[in-house]
Amino acid sequence: MKNQIYVFCILFIGMQVPVSGQVDPASGGRARSEELVSAADSMRREYRFQEALELYRAAEEEILDAPHDSASATSARDSLLLEKIHSRRTMAENGLSMKQYVSEPVVVARHVFPKEDFYLFYPMQDRSWRPVPNPLDSIPGHKFVNATYFPEGSTDIYFSAEDQNGVRNLYHSSLEDSLWSVPALLDESLTSSGDEIFPVLSPDGKTIYFSSYGLYGVGGYDLYKTERDPSTGTWGVPENLGFPYSSPYDDLLYFNTPDGRYTLFASNRGCPPDSVAVYVLEYDSMPVRRHIEDPGQIRRIAELAPVDDPSRMDTGTGAHDGIQENVDMSRYMAKMNEVRSLRDSISIYGQALEEKRLQLQQSTDRREQEELSDEIISRETRLPALQDSLAKASESLRQIEMEFLFNGVVIDPDKLVEQADREVVGAATNYVFSKRSLGDSLDILVKEPEVKFDYSFMVLPEGRFALDNTIPDGIVYQIQMFLLSKPASVAQIKGLSPVFEEKTATGKYIYRVGLFRTYNDVLSNLNTVKNLGFRTAFIVAFKDGEQYPVQKARALETKIGKTGHYQVRIVSPDESLPDLTIKAIRQTCDKDIAKVSEDGKTVFLVGPLDSEEQAEKLKAVVVISGIGDVSVVKLDN
């Protein structure tokens, strides 16, 4: 059936290509590839990772098999698409691994809030969320992060902020006399090419929970935890919390309540674009994880419905303060919140139902069609119960209002709505979401960091020579500008940065600019250099610091892109990897390190790696560092 899906997609997409006029073969391959990626993304969001993996591979083959003009913008676009496919393919591979560790938490309550202030409904210290920009986080505009958690009286703070490349990382700062220390990155293993946001320190100071877009995950922001090594004070390799906490959507702000009763986190799965749902779960210090193969079962668990009966979703009663402390008003407030909550639930439930109907219309897989049909019928059968509950609750609310009018009680609607916005009742457990207030703007003094040299290719008002002329290992491209008999001046490099200087055996000086990891990247900047007056500038390549023919470097790039994917599996006797092992891994590769539990053992997975040779080299390095139980695993292609 999986092969049938692939064949259909190819045929269907092929019909979209015009039959008349000139058609660029490369453009046609790209269009088919983008259609396959879109279909694979849908599979991945449905937890059908194996099928998604096959479609990603087919999309990759469409690009690689199409004719290319390496000197055109088409090639650059294809390179970006291949990078996107590789990233999504890794997510699907991660999903296959994570299916082995699925837990089923007890869901107490769920409610949908606007994404711009959902964190204010967490039971965290009041007035401790401080608006961005502030001295710790000066860059506003993130789609989720617009405040920093900074309780009054703090002497240590963990927070998320953008680096010079616009990527959010996790930082720590502590109070030193009247100044806060220069924010320092937590650890190399907690830093990825994507954003890390919403760090939460456990009350005992031993664990940090956070969300990441770039670590070992299945798409969007996943949830992770990292534990402090008491002997070194460093943070360990982050562990993905697994399904259903993490998902192919955005999962945010994991928090355990101080009383040890609840766990809260937020997710935009099944939510409108401007909202997230906050889930309240029973706290479980030792969750049971098991392997679940069926994507439909994982998907149902990941819905995190508070109760089996949809008529009770997100409803209930709770105590309210601040208006009139009498039985009638409390009854009215409770009923009003019940009506509002039921309306939200029906809206979300109906939206999810429409999405399933749309998926059914677009599906070509008979098995998927049958599963979707059964699920739609089940949902349609349960929806009237929700609507009936809303009708009854609305009628009860009208009756209470009539009683007020009959007794001459005047209701202030604005005040009631304000109170209702502040406290929203959860499921029928009497859990109440109380809205905290946003704190004052953060007014602290932070030490200025030392300015570090930026090796990114740039054109500046004044050019800069590289502080270190060493060429890093791996395939690296540069643009060679000129050869002089004496050292060049700043004026002669015309604003370029970083410019590398090499003195030859004959006493001449060679000047090259930039450090580029791909041919397409260096090619896209060649004209920038030429347009500054270096008309004879040309591309040169290096392999592990030594000059290397450009064509061979490009061939090696392509070979690496086409190889299979491997993973190094490390069974550690401890909860964390020794510092020596982590340093050995980082000296060998820059791949993610994922921490999982298997039959009571702590296992670390490093990858995906591009070749078996690279994986075996890493294995040997880990063994030398002192760990014996290490193996190489070939990932499914």
Check whether residue 265 and residue 163 sit in a common domain. Answer: yes
- pLDDT > 80? residue 37: yes
Domain annotation covers residue 298: no
Domain annotation covers residue 299: no
Residue ending a domain, among 502, 526, 557, is 557
Check whether residue 536 and residue 609 sit in a common domain. Answer: no
The mean predicted confidence, pLDDT, of the chain is: 82
Domain that holds residue 570: 563-634
| Greater pLDDT, 597 or 631 | 631
Domain annotation covers residue 302: no
Mean pLDDT, rounded, for 503-511 = 94
| Greater pLDDT, 2 or 408 | 408
pLDDT the model gives residue 466: 94
Rg (CA), the chain: 28
- pLDDT > 60? residue 327: no
Are the CB atoms for 608 and 635 separated by under 8 Å? yes
pLDDT the model gives residue 412: 58
DSSP assignment of 527-544 = HHHHHTT-TT-EEEEEET
Check whether residue 239 and residue 367 sit in a common domain. Answer: no
- pLDDT > 90? residue 608: no
Check whether residue 13 and residue 129 sit in a common domain. Answer: no
Check whether residue 16 and residue 33 sit in a common domain. Answer: yes
Check whether residue 180 and residue 280 sit in a common domain. Answer: yes
270: which residues sit within 8 A by CB, 6+ positions away?
277, 303, 348, 351, 352
> pLDDT digit string (tens) for 477-488?
999 999 999 999
- pLDDT > 80? residue 543: yes
Mean pLDDT, rounded, for 110-118 = 91
CB-count exposure of residue 131 (10 Å: 0-12, 13-18, 19+)? middle
pLDDT the model gives residue 174: 95
Say what percent of the chain tops pLDDT 70: 83
Instruction: Give the whole-angstrom CA distance, residue 280 versus residue 259.
Output: 14
Residue ending a domain, among 497, 525, 557, is 557
Q: What is the pTM of this model?
A: 0.60
Instruction: Give the whole-angstrom CA distance, residue 312 versus residue 301.
Output: 18
| Greater pLDDT, 342 or 149 | 149
Check whether residue 122 and residue 145 sit in a common domain. Answer: yes
- pLDDT > 90? residue 121: yes
pLDDT the model gives residue 152: 92
| Greater pLDDT, 319 or 212 | 212
Domain annotation covers residue 436: yes
Check whether residue 572 and residue 503 sit in a common domain. Answer: no
Number of domains in the chain: 5
Least confident of 17-26, 340-349, 399-408, 571-580: 17-26
pLDDT the model gives residue 229: 87
Check whether residue 537 and residue 584 sit in a common domain. Answer: no
- pLDDT > 60? residue 308: no
> pLDDT digit string (tens) for 200-241?
999 999 999 999 998 999 999 999 999 998 888 889 889 999
Domain annotation covers residue 193: yes
Mean pLDDT, rounded, for 553-558 = 82
Please state the φ and ψ torsions of residue 29, each to the nearest 5 degrees. Answer: -65, -40
Domain annotation covers residue 200: yes
Check whether residue 88 and residue 108 sit in a common domain. Answer: no
Domain annotation covers residue 296: no
What CATH number is attached to the domain comprising 626?
A: 3.30.70.120
- pLDDT > 70? residue 333: no
- pLDDT > 70? residue 421: no
pLDDT the model gives residue 16: 42
Check whether residue 439 and residue 501 sit in a common domain. Answer: no
Q: Where does the pLDDT of residue 19 fall: very low under 50, low under 70, confident under 90, or very high at 90 and above?
A: very low
364: enclosing H helix or E strand:
none
Mean pLDDT, rounded, for 14-22 = 42
Check whether residue 23 and residue 143 sit in a common domain. Answer: no
400: which residues sit within 8 A by CB, 6+ positions away?
328, 331, 332, 335
Residue ending a domain, among 51, 74, 98, is 98
pLDDT the model gives residue 272: 87
Long-range contact list for 291-299, CB < 8 A, 24+ apart?
Answer: 291/99, 291/100, 291/101, 291/102, 292/99, 292/102, 292/243, 293/99, 295/46, 295/47, 295/48, 295/49, 296/47, 296/371, 296/375, 298/47, 298/99, 298/102, 298/243, 298/244, 299/46, 299/47
Domain annotation covers residue 489: yes
- pLDDT > 60? residue 126: yes
> pLDDT digit string (tens) for 519-538?
988 999 999 999 999 999 99
Instruction: Give the whole-angstrom CA distance, residue 479 versus residue 528.
Output: 10
